[in-house]
Structure 1
Amino acid sequence: MTTHHGASEAGRSRDGAVAPPEPLPDPTDFAARAEWGRAARRRSPRTEHADWAPAADRPDPVALLEEQAATRVPELIPIRHARMMVSPFTFYRGAALIMAADLAHTADSGITVQVCGDAHLSNFGVFGTPERKLAFDINDFDETLPGPWEWDLKRLAASFEIAGRSRGFSEAERRDTTVAAVRGYRERMHRAAESRVLDAWYDRLDADTLAEWVRAEREAGHAEKEQVKRTDSIIAKAKTRDSMKAFSKLVRVIDGKLRIAADPPLIVPVEDLAPVGRTHADDEEAMRELLRDYRTTLPLARHPLDEFSYLHMARKVVGVGSVGTRAWIVLLRGRDDEDPLLLQAKEAQTSVLERFLGPSAFDHHGERVVRGQRVMQAASDLFLGWQRVRGGDGVERDFYLRQLHDWKGAFDVETSVPSGAKLYAKVCGETLARAHARSGDRVAIAGYLGDSDRFDQAIADFAVAYADQNERDHRAFVAAVQSGRLEASEG
């Protein structure tokens, strides 16, 4: 596999060969940075990004998923497989490793940013900031690592092509959507490159601004009335999805005490997984120690966590691609039983990008996720931190922690219409550009992208070709389940 070593490289051509490096310009020389980006077009032409064909030694996609399963909870793997079987889109959500292996053979400009690593359309949404604002941003960083910015953009564009197919959009409608995502990225990156330095760093999209923009698009004839209503509904609903809402759904009074209710195999209380002879007092003492360690990774000298005490925890199945990794919900108590807090502790394994881009600078994968998220997001959860835990099997595992729900809202793929998908694609493209502009050389990237739509069209071509590949992989995956090679069950 090709390994990418950072922005000092001059980019890869379609055969994966790395061109001789050129020295990076002085960061205070903005004209030289722009020229460096423009020069990268000669080394790695923008039109080459349209190319996709499986490598001669392309690994078996089913084998890659089997390899991933080896480090996950065995009894949960069939649930992951069942969720991925549903459609080519749900398969794509779980296929980040497969796409990373494919992207390692594609062209890139040689400009490194902090990449999300799994920037498909369902990993964006609205959430609450510590300032109690509702913001729109990327919300999943399990695979984050420094790498080529094009990889995130290609994964995003392909997700819109694949989702559009699942919704029955026409070829022209899908093309408009993927081009909108890339154009949004390119235009926002140009604005960031031309902005004052701190304006580029502080730039973010608040939900109220998003709603105003959708209304303006409606008045200009670029959006339907329904899109305005849906945007307002998502924002309003997000503000109701907080810890109290999650508390009412997940927690019950059992034997006079607040406990997370069992719903196996999707939610399993800790006592049902603990070794024989282990008591709740044992769990409570262990959690107090773990919370003290986790507390040291939080940014404030005085933090709200200090006023909460541990009550209970349970393992919870989450998402599609994450199913099988260990994820816990932790119930904490503040002033009284009417003052709860629910945290999510999610296992952080090796990023799917590391075998192609090199190992993370952090030996703790929870820290890798948190550090990457803090760089890419305009504002991050006040409870975002990390922890290393030795399990009952003696294996040390890395986790990152955050609030379970804090004003969360998301675009509904299953009910999307072409005009709404196009608006959403533009917002996602712009949001990805903001994140990359903070962590990479926005001036060089803008120089590489240029002012024409040449790059936009190339990525849209790639999205079509890769969606075809994803459909072939999905068929192979379904066949592997039907043959008995893989097991699938909703549980």
Structure 2
Amino acid sequence: MSSPAERAALGRRARQHSPRSSHGPWIPSADRPDPVVTLERQGADRLRDLLPIRYGRMAASPFAFLRGAAAVMAGDLAATPHTGLTVQLCGDAHLLNFGLFAAPDRALLFDLNDFDETYPGPFEWDVKRLAASIAVAARDNGHSDRQAHRAALTSVTAYRTNMRRLASLGELAVWYERIDAHELLPLIRTARHRRRAEHTLAQATRRTSLHALGKLTETTPDGRRRIAYDPPLLEPAGVSDAAAVRKMFGDYRSTLAEERRRLLDRYRFVDAARKVVGVGSVGTRCFIVLLAGRDADDPLFLQIKEATRSVVEDHIPNHGPYIHPGHRVVSGQRLLQAAGDIFLGWMTGPQGRSFYWRQLRDMKGSADVTVMPPDELLAYAGLCGTALARAHARSGDRVALAAYLGGKDGFDRAVAAFALHYADQTARDHAALRGAISAGVLTAATGV
């Protein structure tokens, strides 16, 4: 293991081939792929009947487009200079992929909460996607470009200052670092923002499997509990899919630690249904499973989600350490999150497709960024930057990263400038999607 001084020297040397100011410009190349073509290519192996929902959701606003266009932005980031300072990327670190969830000790934490695209890569790709998403969200909310720039800058400054703080800590201290959601309340300055935060925390605390039992299930005439269907977003799994889910359940069990297998064995399979989730994920195969423990009023909801090739993989020259995409997602989540879901696991399903399993609801929650005024978005942006730094410090060389970033704000200002340039690009790409829909090239289902 290199000494801290050697690691810091590595970070400073990265400035020579990738100056911090080089992260500011965004000039799309003449041969930049058509974003609509990129989305169509990504959808080729998805469930075709669900793709209109994906396109309809992405067409709603530039921010909705950005959420679903991780593949587009990954290609754009790969065309920019990069540091070579590698971390386990979230791969899709936009503003809404941060949120609340319960740790195994039932503390409510704030952290990254989506890892479908996780993969090793240059640390700045996550930072740039976060900053760009903040700028796009700010514009969608009617904020000025000055306010959008300030919010993006705040997120990057929080990332840099916290990475430098974490670089000075010991290994276990960094590993155990976490953001307790309830500790954030005293930091919120205004009563209005504090009330909104308290409401979000209360909602997350109630979002458990027991709460979902009343929301997602119904009782049949013969007295059995089953998932209540809401087509096309929540549909019966069908005989073949239900049988496949049962088979997958047994295989998934083997990827859990022994004590967690023992816990899972205390539940029995009740029902399964196909579920549409998110924006960018629409069209991938996803199911929810209802299990019952001690009795019918002791439920556990699990989500089974298809894991495909990360959007980052096509742009990284070296092969990553993961053969199984489900293993990639699970390993990335365990590495990046401060505390993991005890039921997180993976397996191979029908037709050789990869899946991962997790709890559907375990005190999960997220802020509604679409209603945030400028000062509230500013504070939230800083919180997300802090959480991203903590995740990267666990998976990368935090000493080298801190040395590269430095004590001044050159990197911060460069990435904030990029964020506004990329917000312009997102607006153009969103218009291209809407144009393709209007021309009949793509079919979109709105309001779904």
Under TM normalisation by the shorter chain, which class is it? over 0.9
Contact 2:15/2:404 (<8 A) preserved: yes
Q: Measure how far apart 1:38 and its partner are.
A: 1.1
Q: Hey, what does 1:23 align to over in structure 2?
A: none
Match of 1:416 among 366, 372, 393: 372
Contact 2:245/2:272 (<8 A) preserved: no
Cα deviations by residue, 1:163-207 (Å, 9 ceiling, x for unpaired): 000001112211110111000000000001011221112111011
Q: Measure how far apart 1:246 and its partner are.
A: 1.4
Moved over 6 A (4+): none
Residue 254 of structure 2 corresponds to residue 296 of structure 1: yes
**Superposition pairs of residues 124-143 of structure 1, within 5 angstroms:** 124-143=98-117
Q: Hey, what does 2:324 align to over in structure 1?
A: 364
User: RMSD in angstroms over aligned alpha carbons?
Assistant: 1.3
Q: Secondary structure at the match of 1:130?
A: coil
Q: Hey, what does 1:400 align to over in structure 2?
A: 356
- Structure 1's 300 and 230: CA in aligned 2 closer, same or farther, altered over 3 A? farther
Identity %: 51
Q: Hey, what does 1:187 align to over in structure 2?
A: 161
Match of 2:118 among 135, 138, 144: 144
- CA–CA separation in structure 2 for the residues paired with 1:268 and 1:144: 28
Residue 393 of structure 2 corresponds to residue 433 of structure 1: no
Q: Hey, what does 2:404 align to over in structure 1?
A: 448
Q: Secondary structure at the match of 2:259?
A: coil
- CA–CA separation in structure 2 for the residues paired with 1:383 and 1:360: 25
Cα deviations by residue, 1:204-236 (Å, 9 ceiling, x for unpaired): 10112222332xxx2xxxxx3211111111111
- CA–CA separation in structure 1 for the residues paired with 2:348 and 2:275: 18
| AA of the residue aligned to 1:308 | Y
| AA of the residue aligned to 2:375 | S
**Superposition pairs of residues 56-67 of structure 1, within 5 angstroms:** 56-67=30-41
- CA–CA separation in structure 1 for the residues paired with 2:379 and 2:17: 33
Cα deviations by residue, 1:8-32 (Å, 9 ceiling, x for unpaired): xxxxxxxxxxxxxxxxxx43x0011
- CA–CA separation in structure 2 for the residues paired with 1:301 and 1:412: 37
Residue 79 of structure 2 corresponds to residue 105 of structure 1: yes
- CA–CA separation in structure 2 for the residues paired with 1:160 and 1:68: 25
Residue 442 of structure 2 corresponds to residue 486 of structure 1: yes
Q: Hey, what does 2:333 align to over in structure 1?
A: 373
Higher RCO (C-alpha under 8 Å, 6+ residues apart): 2
- CA–CA separation in structure 1 for the residues paired with 2:46 and 2:269: 26
TM-score by length of structure 1 reads 0.88
Q: Measure how far apart 1:256 and its partner are.
A: 2.1
| AA of the residue aligned to 1:269 | P
Q: Hey, what does 2:200 align to over in structure 1?
A: 234
- CA–CA separation in structure 2 for the residues paired with 1:290 and 1:39: 48
Q: Secondary structure at the match of 1:307?
A: coil
Contact 2:286/2:306 (<8 A) preserved: yes
How many residues are treated as equivalent by the alignment? 444
Stretches of structure 2 that go unaligned for 5 or more consecutive residues are none
- CA–CA separation in structure 1 for the residues paired with 2:245 and 2:356: 15
Contact 1:348/1:369 (<8 A) preserved: yes
Residue 342 of structure 2 corresponds to residue 382 of structure 1: yes
Contact 1:201/1:438 (<8 A) preserved: yes
- CA–CA separation in structure 2 for the residues paired with 1:126 and 1:348: 22
Q: Secondary structure at the match of 1:468?
A: helix
- CA–CA separation in structure 1 for the residues paired with 2:198 and 2:323: 42
Q: Hey, what does 1:225 align to over in structure 2?
A: 191
- CA–CA separation in structure 1 for the residues paired with 2:212 and 2:306: 20
Q: Hey, what does 2:280 align to over in structure 1?
A: 321
Q: Measure how far apart 1:299 and its partner are.
A: 2.4
Q: Hey, what does 2:237 align to over in structure 1?
A: 270
| AA of the residue aligned to 1:64 | T
Q: Hey, what does 2:17 align to over in structure 1?
A: 43
Q: Hey, what does 1:15 align to over in structure 2?
A: none
| AA of the residue aligned to 1:266 | L
Q: Secondary structure at the match of 1:331?
A: strand
Contact 1:360/1:368 (<8 A) preserved: no
- CA–CA separation in structure 1 for the residues paired with 2:128 and 2:138: 15
Q: Measure how far apart 1:244 and its partner are.
A: 1.3
Q: Hey, what does 1:171 align to over in structure 2?
A: 145
- Structure 1's 311 and 198: CA in aligned 2 closer, same or farther, altered over 3 A? same
Q: Measure how far apart 1:415 and its partner are.
A: 1.1
Cα deviations by residue, 1:69-122 (Å, 9 ceiling, x for unpaired): 111101000000000000000000000000000000112211100000000000
Stretches of structure 1 that go unaligned for 5 or more consecutive residues are 1-25, 219-223
Q: Secondary structure at the match of 2:363?
A: coil
- CA–CA separation in structure 2 for the residues paired with 1:199 and 1:333: 38
Match of 2:69 among 95, 108, 126: 95
Q: Hey, what does 2:420 align to over in structure 1?
A: 464
Q: Hey, what does 2:216 align to over in structure 1?
A: 250
Q: Measure how far apart 1:464 and its partner are.
A: 0.6
Q: Secondary structure at the match of 2:284?
A: coil
Q: Secondary structure at the match of 2:309?
A: coil
- CA–CA separation in structure 2 for the residues paired with 1:343 and 1:483: 40
- Structure 1's 78 and 287: CA in aligned 2 closer, same or farther, altered over 3 A? closer
Q: Measure how far apart 1:35 and its partner are.
A: 1.5
Cα deviations by residue, 1:302-336 (Å, 9 ceiling, x for unpaired): 54211001111000100111111111000111111
Q: Secondary structure at the match of 2:109?
A: strand
Q: Bigger CA drift: 252-261 or 381-390?
A: 252-261
Q: Secondary structure at the match of 2:361?
A: coil
Q: Measure how far apart 1:55 and its partner are.
A: 1.5
Q: Hey, what does 1:11 align to over in structure 2?
A: none
Q: Hey, what does 1:354 align to over in structure 2?
A: 313
Contact 2:149/2:419 (<8 A) preserved: no
Contact 1:287/1:310 (<8 A) preserved: no
- CA–CA separation in structure 2 for the residues paired with 1:301 and 1:248: 29
- Structure 1's 253 and 360: CA in aligned 2 closer, same or farther, altered over 3 A? farther
